Chain A
Amino acid sequence: MSELIIQILAASMLLATPLLLAAIGELVVEKSGVINLGVEGMMLIGGLAGFIALYQLQTSICTLELDGVCFASDTSVNQLQYLGALVVAAVVGAAAAAVFGFLTQHFRANHIAAGLGLTVLGAGLSNSLGGNFFGVDYTAAIVAKVPALFPESWGDVPVLGPLLFAQNLLVPFSFVMLVAVWYFLSQTRAGLVVRAVGENHHSAYALGYPVILVRMLTIMFGGAMAGLAGAFIVIAQIAPKWTEGITVGKGWLALALILFATWRPGRVLLGAYIFGIVLALEPRLKAIFSNMSLELSYFLTALPYIVPVVVLVLISRNPVMIRRNAPASLGQAFEPRS
């Protein structure tokens, strides 16, 4: 029984981490008064960039060479190369976000339209670039599996083994970032400035804070986190493999998660793991209860999506809850008054 619980927890970590990473980033973006619906697109672009970087960085030793052409090779990846790929994913995610930032902050474009545009751009661009654009068909490229953070034998340690030692670097990182963002937003002066910009950009501007710069920085932070989330899905969640449209809507779930959490970091964590646990439970319940009816089976599949909808409805019935936590200037274009 306890083994089953640990299996479910380990599986839910894999499923929750990309949502958590992307949602932490978007949380900061929204706290500064910007709503970026392009999370899905940034995840795809960042994920592809991380995959390409890892493909280029990995150690490859040719084992079968004929006439100077390599027919078979042994590839391996170490933590440093993986770290390099993650940096690339974050930088490219931030760059994609900067496009959105430039449109919305410099040209004061509508946040919703620009964000949707970024989603479409991210999907299309990653499909094209991941094809044969750079002379390598990355949909067919093979990249070695990333080793766990700790020695493999540690994975057999009860409880801590599967839940910590066997996990990917980004899993503990997502917790560290969550605490860091909570601390930044609620305990630091800079975090206060970000929130002030999100609550009332005109007042913040009158006080001398660079509203547009602050928002550009948060937007790029959000992009970097989305890029890492994409890289986790492409590289670490299963095994490294680039597939067109591999995120399958996880970016949208990250957005829903923020509403679910009413812009509070602790609740983002809760929401991500509720989602992860439900997703991890679903196949296990279906395997154990093989006489499940179609209705129940469909219901289980839909459950992770129903929960946010129900919670959103409940939240929206309580306007005080929204008003207390939602940034007042969310989604509004800022034009300095002269």
Chain B
Amino acid sequence: MNRALTTLLASALTFGAVVATPAQAETKVGFIYVGPPGDLGWTYRHDIGRQAVEAMDGFTTTALENVPEGPEAVEAITQLAETGHDLIFTTSFGFMDATNEVAGNYPDVKFEHATGYIRAHENVSTYSGRFYEGRVVQGYIAANITESNKIGYIASFPIPEVIRGINAFMLEAKKHNPDVEVEIVWVFTWFDPAKEAAAAQALIDNGADIIAAHTDSPAPMQIAEANGVKAYGQASNMSRFGETAHLVSTVDDWDSYYVERAIAVANGTWESQDSWWGFTKDGIGGEVGMVHLADYSNMPADVMAEAKAIEAALAAGDRHSFPCPIYMQDGNLAEDCANGEAHLTDGTLLGMNWYIEGIDGTIPQ
């Protein structure tokens, strides 16, 4: 009986939308993807953001999939610029140089590069999410439910983005359970299910009872499920791959940013900028940001309640992911903390290439 009502409402909304559409030039938004969107992972979440733009009146979108990173990307980006796109999102770090090169040739087109830091022209913006905020909550959960006190961490590449996640996770975990240890395997890939699975199995065989992964496939979650241990979802909601294993998923959420920037182009208010949004856009309880947590499950109610409280505190800006004092692996106080900062600065986080105290091993570099 509810379905009939929903259908009625949906048709009423659609009808209203059609009637309301004014006759105006459409804003064309292009997207460059490094992989296929598939059903989960990095590119999938960008495609969900694209669909949010497409759903607005007056906007059409185009996506080019499987574009190789590096110089080859110039051709694909140029193709979008040549075909009348007003705004182009290039959604992988490796498109950085190509994006800036094409932007120089098309001053009237706006370019947005994800996770990069070079804005060589006035028509280039950069953006990324503070995904480490999700790691703080993950670290809290791990500290409270691990029995072996051993966390297995599948890391992709030794870059600040990944190291930041490991540090945020362990900083919070150590705070609540000083005995917790992390074992890190660097797989040097973002996507290779067999390899991620082999790494997860090795970590579990070695005693880990919680698996965290900074790679794209659900293989670590599936292996955790098969071995009766716990795991976190990465980039998108992976709960369906671990009925008893899934704890919480950190989900990339580009929807509001893409919608905001597309509207800015349509209104002529677009400006070059760098955006770094966490759970909330401004970090102090404002609009939704680029990261959210999905489907808390398979943990005691009190742990879940406190984890949600930490998420809320981070979103509201009541606390920071990296509050001082923070000691580095060599025992020295982090420079920002020594300088009297209340927490690590964005500059430090962006260039993070050191482990905090309590993590064994060296970063391969």
Contact = CB atoms under 8 A, between A and B. Distances in A.
Interface string A97-123: 000000000000000000000000000
Residues of B contacting A: mostly: mixed
A11 interface: yes
A237 interface: yes
Nearest to B359: A290
B184 A241 contact: no
B225 A239 contact: yes
A239 B226 contact: yes
A85 interface: no
Nearest to A234: B193
A127 interface: yes
Given A239-B225, A297-B186, A298-B188, A139 B38 contact: yes
B193 A238 contact: yes
B328 interface: no
Nearest to B182: A290
A287 B203 contact: yes
Contacts of B152: 287
A7 to B, nearest CB: 5
A290 B199 contact: no
B222 interface: yes
B364 interface: yes
Contacts of A298: 188, 364
Contacts of B185: 283, 286-287
A241 B36 contact: no
B202 interface: yes
B3 A15 contact: no
Given A11-B198, A139-B39, A294-B158, A67 B205 contact: no
Interface stretch (A22-30, A35-43, A243-251): A243-251
Contact of B205 (A140, A243, A250, A284): A284
Interface in B156-213: 158, 183-188, 191-195, 197-199, 201-203, 205-206
A34 to B, nearest CB: 28
Given A142-B240, A244-B38, A287 B194 contact: no
B250 interface: no
Contacts of B187: 283, 301
Nearest to A292: B364
A335 interface: no
A292 B364 CA distance: 7
B183 A243 contact: no
A279 B195 contact: yes
Nearest to B226: A239
Contact of A145 (B191, B199, B201, B226): B226
Interface of B: 1-3, 35-36, 38-39, 152, 158, 183-188, 191-195, 197-199, 201-203, 205-206, 217-219, 222-223, 225-226, 240-241, 360-362, 364-365
30 contacts: A4-B205, A14-B194, A14-B198, A15-B198, A139-B38, A238-B197, A238-B223, A239-B222, A239-B223, A239-B225, A239-B241, A241-B193, A241-B219, A241-B222, A241-B241, A245-B35, A279-B195, A279-B198, A283-B187, A283-B199, A283-B203, A286-B184, A287-B185, A287-B202, A287-B203, A291-B361, A291-B362, A294-B365, A298-B364, A301-B187
Given A7-B202, A245-B35, A283-B203, 13 more contacts: A11-B198, A14-B197, A15-B194, A137-B39, A237-B194, A237-B197, A239-B241, A241-B193, A243-B38, A248-B192, A283-B202, A286-B186, A288-B206
